Chain A
Amino acid sequence: MEINDTTGKEIVIDIKELYKSFGDNHVLRGVNLEVDRGENVVVLGRSGTGKSVLIKIICGLLTQDEGSVIVLGEDVKNLRARELEALRLKVGFSFQMSALYDSMTVKENIAFPLMRNFKHLTKAEVKKRVDEVLDAVSLIKSRDQYPAELSGGQKKRIGIARTLVLRPEIMLYDEPTAGLDPISSIEINNLINSIKKEFGVSSIIITHDLVCAKVTGDRLVMMFDGVVQKQGTFGEVFDSNDERIKSFYEYNFT
C-alpha cells in the first residue's frame, strides 16, 4: 500500500480523477480523495452532489466511468468477482436506511454475513462474535427482536453492528444520523468515534449534518457539483469566503 507523503501514514483509499454519469446527469466530475489508515474522513455536500455514489463506487456496488479507485492496494474496477468479495469483507458499509433483513431477528441479521462467509465457525463462535458487536453498540438486550420493533437509532446501530461483525478495516457510513433525533444522533456520533478507537478502522462518513461532521471527522471534504471544493479540518473548511460553503454552514446552524 502507498504511504501518504504528508502524514507518513498508509493510504487505505486512494481515489484519482473519478468520473461517473447516469445518462446525461454527470454526478462525479473528477473527484480526488485519499484516506489514511485510522482516519475518519467526512464527506459533506448538498443532496445530489454524488456523495453516496462515491462510496458505492468504493465498495464496488457501482462502477466508475473514468478514474481509479484503489482500496487497500486493490484496484476495485479490475477485480474479479471472488477478489471483490474478499475485499468487501474488509470494507463495511452502513446504509442510510439501515437495510436490516426484516424477516430475521437482530441476532440473525448480524450472524448472517458471518455464517455466509465463515462456514467453519461453530455456533458458539458465531454467538460469541454476535454478542461482542451487540455489546459494542449497547444493544445486547435487543438480540431477539425483529427490525420492525426497533427505533430508527437502534436500527442504525444494528446496521453498524452487522458490518462490524466481519471486522472490517474500512467503514463507509451513508448518512449515519439522517432522520434521527438529536440524542440518537449524538449516540451514533459517539459510536462512530468509539469504533475508530476500539477497532482501529478508517472511515468515510457521508453526511450533511455538521454536528456529526465536527464530532466524528478528522478531516472534512466539501463537495459541490461532483467535485471536491475544499478539504481540511472543520475550522479550515468553514473559514471560507466561498458563498456556497458559507450558506451550507449557515443553513445547518440557523
Chain B
Amino acid sequence: MEIATTKKEKYYLSKGIDGFFISASKTFRFVFNYFIELFRPPYEFGEIVKQCYKVGCDSLPLISLTGFIIGIVFTKQSRPSLSDFGATSWLPSLIGIAVFRALAPLVTALICAGKVGSSIGAELGAMKVTEQIEAMDVSASKPYKYLVFTRVTACVFMMPLLMLYTSFVALLGSYINVQTNEHTSLATFIANAFDKINFLDLKASVIKAVVFGFTIGMVACYKGFTTTRGTEGVGKAANAAVVTAMYLIFIEELMIVQIVGWFR
C-alpha cells in the first residue's frame, strides 16, 4: 500500500479517519438512544400501534404471495431429489425445517427491508429536508421518541408475527403441492412438517426476526434522520435504508445460525 507522503494527502487522510470516527460515534449514539428511551416512560402507545398497523399492512400482501410461492416452488424443486431415493414422504419435514429455520425469517426480513425500510427512510428523509424534524426539536416535542422509537419498536414487534405468518403461508403452499401429488392428508402433513422442529428452532427464528426487525427500523430511521441535500437526498436515504439493512440482515443471519449451531 502506498503511504501518504505529501502534506495534502496527510491532511485528507487524517480528515477521513476523523470523519469515520465521528460518523461511527454518531451512529452508536443514535442506536444507544433507543435503549435509553426504552427505560424512559411515557411511551407513545397510540403511535406504536399505528406504526405496527402500517408495518403489517405494508408488507402483508407481498409476504403472502412470496411465502405461498416459496412453499410451492421449494416443494416442487425438492421432490425429484427425494424421489430418487424413494423418500418423497420426507418432503413435509424437509419443508418444515427449511421454512422455520431459514426461509421464513430471511424472506420476511428482506421483504420488510424493501417495503417498510424504504417507506420509513423516505418519510423521515422528507421530514428532515423540509425541517419538520427540526421543528419538533425546537418545540421540545422529542422527535427521536416520537419518530424513531415508535417505528423501531413497531418493526421489532411485527417482524416475529410476520415471520410466523410467512411460515404458515409457505407451509400452506407446500401442502397444496404435496396433497396434489402425494395425496397426503392435512393431519399427516402437519405431523410430519413439525416432527423435526423443536423449541430451539422456534426460539432462534423469533430471535432472528426480532434482530432483523430492529435492524430494518433502526437503519431506515438513521438514514432518514441523516438525510441531506433535498429531494435527491430523500431518494438516496430510501435506497440506502434498503441496501444497508439487507447487507446487515445477511451478516446477522450468518452470525445467529453460527451461534444457534453451538447450542444444537
Would you call B134 and A113 a contact (CB within 8 A)? no
Across the interface, B141 reaches (CB within 8 A) one of A96, A97, A100, A117, namely: A117
Which B residues between 123 and 156 are near A, CB-CB below 8 angstroms? Answer: 127, 130-132, 134-142, 146
Size range of the interface on A? 20 to 34
Would you call A61 and B134 a contact (CB within 8 A)? yes
- For the complex, what is the distance from the CA of A112 to the CA of B44, rounded to whole Å? 13
Across the interface, B140 reaches (CB within 8 A) one of A89, A119, A162, namely: A89
Residues of B contacting A116 in the complex (Cβ-Cβ under 8 angstroms): 139-142, 146
Size range of the interface on B? 10 to 19
Would you call B135 and A117 a contact (CB within 8 A)? no
Which A residues between 155 and 214 are near B, CB-CB below 8 angstroms? Answer: 159, 162-163, 166
In the complex, A125 has a CB within 8 A of chain B: no
In the complex, A215 has a CB within 8 A of chain B: no
The answer to whether residues A163 and B131 also contact, given A116-B146, A119-B42 and a CB cut-off of 8 A, is no
Residues of A contacting B141 in the complex (Cβ-Cβ under 8 angstroms): 112-113, 116-117
* A6 nearest CB across to chain B (Å): 30
Would you call A86 and B140 a contact (CB within 8 A)? yes
Would you call A113 and B140 a contact (CB within 8 A)? yes
- For the complex, what is the distance from the CA of A92 to the CA of B139, rounded to whole Å? 7
Would you call B134 and A166 a contact (CB within 8 A)? no
Would you call A102 and B140 a contact (CB within 8 A)? no
Give B42's nearest chain A residue, CB to CB: A119
* B39 nearest CB across to chain A (Å): 15
Would you call A97 and B130 a contact (CB within 8 A)? yes
Residues of A contacting B136 in the complex (Cβ-Cβ under 8 angstroms): 112-113
Q: Residues of B with Cβ closer than 8 Å to A? A: 42, 127, 130-132, 134-142, 146
Q: Residues of A with Cβ closer than 8 Å to B? A: 59, 61, 85-86, 88-89, 91-93, 95-97, 99-102, 112-113, 116-117, 119, 159, 162-163, 166
* Other 20 A-B pairs with CB < 8 A, given A93-B138, A95-B134: A59-B138, A61-B134, A61-B138, A85-B140, A93-B135, A93-B139, A95-B135, A97-B130, A97-B131, A99-B131, A99-B134, A99-B135, A100-B135, A101-B132, A112-B141, A113-B140, A116-B140, A117-B139, A117-B140, A159-B135
Q: Which 3 A-B pairs have the closest CB atoms?
A: A113-B139, A99-B135, A85-B140
A-B contact pairs, 22 of them (CB 8 A): A61-B138, A85-B142, A86-B140, A88-B137, A88-B139, A89-B140, A91-B138, A93-B135, A93-B138, A95-B135, A96-B131, A97-B131, A99-B131, A99-B132, A99-B134, A101-B127, A101-B132, A102-B132, A116-B139, A116-B140, A116-B141, A166-B139
